[in-house]
Each structure stands twice: as C-alpha cells, then as structure tokens.
Amino acid sequence: MANTGALSGKNAIITGSTSGIGLAIAHVLASKGCNIMVNGMGDKATIDGIIAELPKKYGVKTIYDGADMSKPADIRNMVADCEKNLGSVDILVNNAGIQFTATVEEFPEEKWDAIIAINLSASFHAIKAALPRMRKRDFGRIINIASVHGLVASQHKIAYVAAKHGIVGLTKVVALEAAEANITCNAICPGWVHTPLVQKQIEDKAKEGNISVEKATANLLGEKQPNKRFVKPENIGAIIAFLCGEDGAAMTGEILTIDGGWTAQ
C-alpha cells in the first residue's frame, strides 16, 4: 500500500544509512512517505534486509547505492542514479562519517585525508551534483549531519573537528546561494549518540583506563553531556522530517544542536 504521509512522493538520498543515525533517519523519512536511496557499508544480508524492510513497513520505494564516499565520481553517479531510478533528488542527507583519534603529532596523514574526504568533501560533491537537479524542480532540502564538534573542540580529534567545523561553514554558504530558490540547507549538531562509532570509542577508553565498559560509558557522558543520556537517533530523524516539510520551509542556514546541554556550558 502506498504511503500518504507528509513527504509522500519525495525522494531522499541518505549517505551512511546502513546503520546508526543514518538508518534511523531512513526509517523516520520512510514513515512520512519518502522514498529512500540507502547508501553505506555492510554485509549483503544486512543491506538486503534494509531494502526489504522499508517498503514492507512503510509502503515506499527503496533502493541501494554502494557509492564510496571518498570517491567524487561514485558520489556523482549515486546522485544521478537516484534521479534515474526514483525520478528526482528532493532530499539529500549527508550523514556518512568516520573517526580516528590521536594527538596532532601522532595523527597519521592518511587518516587525516580519509576523514576530510568522507566527513567533509563528500558533502560538497553530493551537494554540487544534487543542486542543479533541485533547482530544475524548484524544490530541495539538504541536511548535513555535523556534530557538536562542529561548534566546539575536543582533544585527539583534529581531523573530525576540522571536518565538522567545515560542514557548518559549507552549510551556511549553500543556504545563502540557494536562498531565493525553494531549497534549504541546514546542519544538525548532535552530541553523543549511541552508534557503533561511539561504542568503539567507549571500548577503547575502557581498555585504555582498565575499567568496565559501563564505567567508560558513564565517564564519556558525564564529561561532556550534562543530561548524561545519549541522544536518540530517531530524535535526529524527527528534526530532519520537520526541516523537509512545509513547516521548516523558512529555516535555512540553521545550525541546530541536539546535545543534552553540551554547548550550553
């Protein structure tokens, strides 16, 4: 049965949507009637399961593109394939990201290059490919998943912090350049979200400090996030759904935090 939700008939690309925040966003947008292009890494069975689940649960079209976010040509082809197979590119959610931690002096140059490529440059390449298509249809919603680290810094995250600060700036420029069209560009800056990326950081801290994972989790939240609770991925999805609908049409160039009070300190 076709979905007749608030975003019915819209088509969205969500990068890094085979797990974590991206997958939650896919579920929320699909629940509003949006067709989804899933992108990301994972084993075939997991990806096939996602592609089967979304249509069955929400009555929307769902396709997959395995574009490597470090390769501009792959990104351009992904955007073109979305238009070819779904009919348009109405919504672009730039979510894909990777992480690595080390001091500046010890930070491997290849890790810097990879993080900048995937966490920052990939968003530029996707937006550049999608914008002309959005202009032709006089509609577009671009949402960049930045981070609280796009606003403040933490030690040992030089590439991640630099990339996320870059996403904030990129968002504002795109918003200004598309301001007179029916196209918006906004960024969301989450605090700690319990994703596989964050879980690995917790386990690394537990090992480094010779403490339990539970204690490392409490330390992680207590150090930065005053409410001491993880942000829920579906809450991020709900904000994106709002931004993509009519009620969010006047919001562009906004940098929205959802961080449990992190940046209020």
For the annotated catalytic residues, the residue numbers are 160
**Those residues with Cβ within 8 angstroms of residue 56's Cβ, 6 or more apart along the chain or in another chain:** none
- Per DSSP, the three-state class of 93 is strand
Q: Are 10 and 93 in contact (CB under 8 A)?
A: no
Q: Are 118 and 67 in contact (CB under 8 A)?
A: no
Which amino acid makes up residue 36? Answer: I
Query: Residue 42, by phi and psi: left (phi above 0), alpha (psi -120 to 50) or beta?
Result: left
Burial of 74 (0-12, 13-18, 19+ CB in 10 A): middle
- Per DSSP, the three-state class of 12 is strand
Q: Are 65 and 48 in contact (CB under 8 A)?
A: no
Strands (E) in 109-224, as ranges, are: 140-145, 183-190
Burial of 144 (0-12, 13-18, 19+ CB in 10 A): buried
